[in-house]
A and B are shown apart, each in its own frame.
Chain A
């Protein structure tokens, strides 16, 4: 019914100075986040601290990096200005990363634990094992 309608041209970005302002604002934001990340990285190096605190600071750095990624994709790549359906076709498949990261880091850790607790191949004479227990 609307076949006479011409293909809508791709507008997306308003062409004014506000865009340049937004770019500059984002640049400053990205730089500030990077400086904070570096500060935390150097803090972990310079000040001796508990392992739990180091892990916490590393978590903070990861979250800050995700924020950087969000601004680069949303503002610099203008994904935020696209149609919602398009955004979803890109973002939803990336959800795989949640499983991907969790499963493989878990696997790596399990590998370490197994290797550290491995005491050599078990004795072939299994029934005798109960007898020998506690002798070492």
Chain B
């Protein structure tokens, strides 16, 4: 590559220029994201440790099988797939916003930032529905010889092994599963959701600045690039949350 060759000949460390050829804010955003990756990594690995220490763990296909307005239809992973695609698409619109910024195309930046914000809000709405469904969805659980109707919370996991009794009208009854399931699920998807929320707020600020012509006056759209890095990171983390909680 011609650019790679040119880089070889430049004395990056001779002073007077950025040795990494990036702007300070962007470099620091990268290092922040690296530290954030360790935070998420620590959460997910701790989840993995607990999961490996249990003899029984709920099957995600059974836990996450509901879809809005679909009633009791068994649609494993359908809703979370929708959420994943929403996040991928919003990541793409963000790249296009950054790309428009490179060309100093104000209208393009505004258009793609609006789509990215819509994608973020759509994802958050989906997550709100999923949480509500899990917390309020009642399942028959056998506790101390008594069948109770319980939802998934941080202190209750109705997704345990099957119990030796049948509920009224032949409903499926389970025993309580490992209690850590709810805590990890709500904790980690909540921490990710909070990142999405702050990403949406940052994107809205960027949109307002773009509309007001702040970047136009500065002569560059580097801020969009930095917000974009954060937004892509949120998508990146979702890849692993999706992997750890829904797929395996």
Would you call A76 and B49 a contact (CB within 8 A)?
Answer: no
Would you call B45 and A104 a contact (CB within 8 A)?
Answer: yes
Q: Which residues of B116-148 are within 8 A (CB) of A? A: none
Binds A, one of B94-102, B158-166, B183-191, B203-211: B94-102
Query: Which of B19, B53, B239 is within 8 Å of A112, CB to CB?
Result: B53
A105 to B52, CA, bound (A): 6
Query: Which of A13, A15, A68 is within 8 Å of B239, CB to CB?
Result: A68
Would you call A104 and B21 a contact (CB within 8 A)?
Answer: no
Residue of A whose beta carbon sits closest to that of B29? A77
A8 to B22, CA, bound (A): 9
Q: Is the interface of A mostly helix, strand, loop or mixed?
A: helix
Q: Which residues of A46-89 are within 8 A (CB) of B? A: 58, 61-62, 65, 68-69, 72-73, 76-77, 79, 82-83, 85-86, 89
* Given A41-B61, A85-B12: A94 in contact with B34 (beta carbons within 8 A): yes
* Given A3-B15, A61-B247, A109-B53: A34 in contact with B102 (beta carbons within 8 A): no
A7 to B18, CA, bound (A): 7
A13 to B31, CA, bound (A): 21
Range for the number of chain B residues in contact with chain A: 35 or more
A8 to B84, CA, bound (A): 39
Residue of B whose beta carbon sits closest to that of A45? B61
Query: Which of A58, A65, A85 is within 8 Å of B240, CB to CB?
Result: A65
Q: Is the interface of B mostly helix, strand, loop or mixed?
A: helix
Binds A, one of B85-93, B168-176, B194-202: B85-93
Q: Which residues of B1-21 are within 8 A (CB) of A? A: 7, 10-12, 14-21
**Closest CB-CB distance, A116 to chain B, in whole Å?**
7
* Given A15-B102, A42-B61: A69 in contact with B20 (beta carbons within 8 A): no
Confirm or deny: B59 has a beta carbon within 8 angstroms of a beta carbon on chain A.
Answer: yes
Would you call B22 and A86 a contact (CB within 8 A)?
Answer: yes
Which residues of B are found within 8 Å of A107, using beta-carbon distances?
49
Residue of B whose beta carbon sits closest to that of A30? B88
**Closest CB-CB distance, A105 to chain B, in whole Å?**
5
Residue of A whose beta carbon sits closest to that of B240? A65
Which residues of A are found within 8 Å of B247, using beta-carbon distances?
37-38, 40-41, 58, 61, 65
Residue of B whose beta carbon sits closest to that of A110? B53
* B positions within 8 Å CB-CB of A: 7, 10-12, 14-23, 26-27, 30-31, 34, 37-38, 41-42, 45-46, 48-55, 59-61, 76-77, 81, 84-85, 88-89, 91-92, 94-96, 99, 102-103, 222, 228-229, 232-233, 235-236, 239-240, 242-243, 246-248
Q: List 17 A-B contacts (CB under 8 A).
A: A2-B11, A8-B18, A27-B92, A34-B81, A34-B85, A41-B77, A65-B242, A69-B240, A72-B235, A82-B22, A83-B21, A86-B30, A90-B34, A105-B45, A105-B49, A109-B52, A115-B53
